[in-house]
């Protein structure tokens, strides 16, 4: 009865130790998964922040609009103007040197809103001059472009007036044209010659203008073209690249901190192995004499002292005995104490 209770207690202890090992393993797995998830989330948000910062730093503004206000000299008592309309459009100032990005090509366009008046139709073609100036009034470029209203025959003009009469009466539509004139198609901003001011002149005193606006468009190319016209693909590629390099940094940092832990782990494994070897060397195994069926305990003096198929003298009998091959396999090099305990529990059960 006592033997049965002892065997049951040993089996319960073994089962409890196995369950505890499984619980510890699952704890480590859950901890690793939580740590990995948190690391990936942090890496994603850091990568997104880095890509956003790079985008707004690297990408220039697509369109910059500047209002244009013309000034001229009046003719006193006579109607009309006595000088060409001239305007100065500041691009930068002392605080913000220039709103344009260095090395980027721009398209500079002038929009003139003109009425379809008889005076403008009578003027026909006229010139618009533009002069780019840098710091301290340094002249960068100068160019002139011809402008004129689009022609409409009297019949077409009368028909359009009749069709759009309700809209014209309520002010929803006006008899005007917006003339867009390209002044510079590939102006490139340079660091040594920044654009600070644009001088505009309409070389006609008889032109009637409602309003004017200067537009500067950025002409994207290369990486900027892809980032602007394909934002989703560029964002995926940028965030993925940032996460890749961050993962490399995290892995290298982990390996930089891990050698000390590996040293302690290796030393603990060495201590466990030495203790298990010393305990295994003291285990007594039964051996059977060739001449008789009596068995006596045999003490193994050290690891590797017995080999499969070897014979020795049994204490007290003076006769040689053979050691079972399957029994000696337990004590081969590399066996641990856990395997010995499992074999003992299996024999007891």
Q: pLDDT tens across 102-125, in order?
A: 888 899 999 999 998 888 888 888
Given a cut of 80, whether residue 158 has pLDDT beyond it is yes
Bridge pairing between strands 320-322 and 284-289: antiparallel
CA–CA separation, 47 and 240 (whole Å): 8
- Are 186 and 219 in contact, with CB atoms under 8 Å apart? yes
pLDDT at 215: 93
Q: Which residues contact 184 (CB under 8 A, 6 or more apart)?
A: 106, 107, 108, 130, 132, 141, 143
- Are 208 and 117 in contact, with CB atoms under 8 Å apart? yes
Closest by CA position to 113, among listed 181, 204, 200: 181
pLDDT at 259: 54
CA–CA separation, 21 and 27 (whole Å): 10
Residues 190-205 pLDDT 10s: 877 888 889 999 988 8
Q: CB-side exposure of 13: number of CA atoms within 13 Å?
A: 11
Q: Which residues contact 237 (CB under 8 A, 6 or more apart)?
A: none
pLDDT at 111: 93
- Are 113 and 78 in contact, with CB atoms under 8 Å apart? no
Q: CB-side exposure of 142: number of CA atoms within 13 Å?
A: 6
pLDDT at 28: 85
More confident position, 338 or 299: 338
pLDDT at 297: 43
Q: Residue 240 — very low, low, confident or very high, per pLDDT cuts 50/70/90?
A: very high
pLDDT at 255: 80
Mean pLDDT computed over 34-61: 90
Q: Is 114 left (phi over 0), alpha (psi -120 to 50) or beta?
A: beta
What is the CB neighbour count within 10 angstroms for residue 303?
15
Q: What are phi and psi of 22, to 5 degrees?
A: -60, -45
CA–CA separation, 176 and 188 (whole Å): 33
Q: Copy the structure tokens of residue 332.
A: 């081969």
Q: Is 148 left (phi over 0), alpha (psi -120 to 50) or beta?
A: beta
Q: Quickly list DSSP for 72-89.
A: --B-TTSSSBSS--EEEE
Mean pLDDT computed over 59-72: 90
pLDDT at 342: 52
Mean pLDDT computed over 41-51: 92
Specify which of 255-264, 281-290, 335-344 reaches the highest per-range mean pLDDT: 255-264
Q: What are phi and psi of 145, to 5 degrees?
A: -130, 145
Q: Copy the structure tokens of residue 71.
A: 């000034």
Closest by CA position to 238, among listed 219, 253, 218, 223: 223
Given a cut of 80, whether residue 175 has pLDDT beyond it is yes
pLDDT at 313: 44
- Are 99 and 61 in contact, with CB atoms under 8 Å apart? yes
Q: Which residues contact 113 (CB under 8 A, 6 or more apart)?
A: 176, 177, 178, 209, 210, 211, 212
Mean pLDDT computed over 62-75: 88
Report the range of poorest mean pLDDT among 253-262, 288-297, 333-342. 288-297
Given a cut of 80, whether residue 30 has pLDDT beyond it is yes
Q: What are phi and psi of 86, to 5 degrees?
A: -130, 145
Q: Residue 232 — very low, low, confident or very high, per pLDDT cuts 50/70/90?
A: very high
Measured in whole angstroms, how far is the alpha carbon of residue 96 from the centre of its chain? Answer: 30
How many angstroms separate the Cα of 256 from the Cα of each of 105, 249, 252, 262, 263? 46, 10, 6, 11, 13
Length of the chain in terms of residues written: 349
Q: What percent of the chain is predicted at pLDDT more than 70?
A: 71
More confident position, 265 or 54: 54
């Amino acid at each position: 009865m006592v033997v049965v209770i002892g065997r049951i207690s040993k089996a319960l202890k073994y089962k409890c130790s196995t369950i505890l090992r499984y619980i510890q393993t699952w704890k480590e797995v859950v901890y690793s998964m939580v740590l990995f998830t948190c690391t990936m989330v942090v890496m994603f948000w850091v990568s997104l922040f880095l890509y956003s910062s790079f985008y707004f730093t690297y990408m220039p503004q697509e369109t910059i609009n500047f209002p244009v206000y013309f000034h001229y000299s009046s003719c006193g008592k006579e109607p009309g103007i006595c000088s060409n309309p001239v305007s100065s459009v500041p691009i930068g100032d002392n605080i913000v040197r220039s709103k344009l990005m260095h090395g980027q090509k721009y398209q500079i366009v002038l929009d003139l809103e003109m009425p379809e008046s008889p005076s403008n139709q009578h003027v026909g073609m006229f010139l618009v001059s533009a002069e780019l100036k840098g710091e301290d009034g340094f002249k960068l470029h100068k160019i002139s472009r011809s402008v004129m209203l689009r022609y409409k025959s009297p019949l077409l003009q009368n028909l359009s007036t009749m069709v759009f009469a309700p809209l014209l009466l309520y002010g929803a539509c006006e008899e005007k044209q917006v003339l867009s004139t390209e002044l510079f198609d590939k102006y490139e901003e340079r660091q040594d010659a920044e654009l600070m001011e644009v001088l505009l002149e309409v070389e006609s005193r008889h032109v009637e203008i409602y309003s004017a606006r200067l537009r500067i468009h950025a002409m994207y190319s290369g990486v900027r073209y892809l980032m602007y016209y394909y934002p989703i693909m560029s964002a995926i590629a940028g965030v993925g690249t940032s996460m890749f390099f961050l993962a490399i940094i995290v892995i290298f940092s982990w390996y930089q901190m891990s050698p000390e832990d590996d040293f302690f782990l290796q030393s603990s494994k060495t201590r466990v192995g030495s203790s298990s070897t010393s305990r295994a060397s003291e285990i007594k195994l039964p051996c059977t004499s060739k001449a008789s069926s009596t068995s006596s305990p045999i003490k193994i003096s050290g690891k590797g002292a017995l080999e499969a198929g070897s014979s020795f003298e049994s204490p007290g009998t003076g006769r040689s005995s053979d050691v079972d091959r399957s029994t000696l396999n337990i004590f081969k090099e590399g066996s641990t104490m856990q395997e010995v305990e499992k074999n003992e529990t299996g024999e007891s059960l």
